[in-house]
């Protein structure tokens, strides 16, 4: 049996406005606090994206459901933090992940941020997460999953692309990706769950 895979919709570019101070950004953010838009900020650049449509949301929810199923079955004491706003005035950055997780009690910031990419251009997401000191970031784009882990200390932090998660140890990324990319949500969850129970 061949498993049908999801289709990728047309890509959109965000609106970018350069040269803003943090205070100007915060003022604009209050003015643009309207449903249907997501704002990010990095080094004086304001990025405005329309809220994603159904294909984006379906993949985001699928990844979240699969990751949470694994975390539960693997015994993690985790807290899903969704698309909580992460910002740092000192780092001149504001970002909202598509999904995020604290993987142990008492964490101030998420240990893992997930991004579903259906757009092109915009501010550098990894640079944003680096300034926010998020240990691991996953990107799903065009049916591919890439994982980056934060390395270094102090001012020498940088992300390294890795082949297996260091925050969610033991997760089978090949299986996860296969299930993420399946067309039917219920089939994807059942396939993943059955594999975890073996």
Domain spans, the chain: 53-197
Nearest to 144 by CA among 8, 3, 4, 2: 8
Average pLDDT, the chain: 89
pTM higher than 0.85, yes or no? yes
What is d(CA 9, CA 46) in angstroms, rounded to the nearest whole number? Answer: 25
- Report pLDDT for 82: 92
8 Cβ contact partners less than 8 Å away, ≥ 6 residues apart: 55, 118, 142, 143
- pLDDT attached to residue 23: 92
Q: What is the mean pLDDT of residues 49-72?
A: 90
- Model confidence at 30, in pLDDT bands (50, 70, 90)? confident
Q: What is the average per-residue pLDDT within 73-78?
A: 96
Mean pLDDT of 79-88: 93
- pLDDT reading at 10 higher than 80: no
CATH of domain 53-197: 3.90.1570
Residue 2, pLDDT above cutoff 60: no
% of the chain at pLDDT higher than 70: 94
Mean pLDDT of the 87-110 span? 93
**Which is it for strands 85-88 and 45-50: parallel, antiparallel or unpaired?**
unpaired
pLDDT of 6 over the 70 cut? no
Average confidence (pLDDT) over 20-39: 86
Give residue-wise pLDDT tens across range 154-191: 778 999 999 999 999 999 999 999 999 999 999 999 99
How far apart (Å, rounded) are the C-alpha atoms in residues 97 and 139? 10
């Amino acid at each position: 049996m061949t498993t049908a895979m999801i289709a990728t919709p047309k890509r959109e570019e965000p609106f970018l406005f350069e040269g803003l101070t943090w205070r100007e950004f915060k003022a604009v953010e209050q003015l643009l606090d309207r449903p249907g838009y997501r704002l990010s900020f990095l080094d004086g650049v304001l990025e405005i994206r329309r809220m994603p449509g159904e294909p984006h949301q379906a993949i985001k929810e699928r990844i979240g459901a699969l990751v949470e199923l694994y975390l539960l079955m693997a015994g993690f004491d985790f807290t899903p933090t969704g698309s909580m706003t992460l910002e740092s005035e000192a780092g001149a950055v504001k970002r909202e992940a598509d999904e995020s997780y604290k993987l142990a009690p008492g964490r101030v910031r998420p240990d893992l941020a997930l991004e579903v990419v259906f757009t092109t251009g915009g501010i550098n997401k990894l640079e944003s997460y680096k300034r926010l000191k998020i240990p691991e970031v996953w990107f799903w784009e065009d049916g591919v999953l890439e994982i980056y882990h934060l390395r270094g200390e102090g001012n020498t932090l940088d992300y390294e692309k890795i082949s297996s998660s260091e925050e969610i140890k033991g997760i089978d990324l090949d299986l996860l990706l296969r299930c993420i990319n399946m067309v039917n949500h219920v089939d994807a969850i059942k396939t993943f769950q059955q594999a975890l129970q073996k």
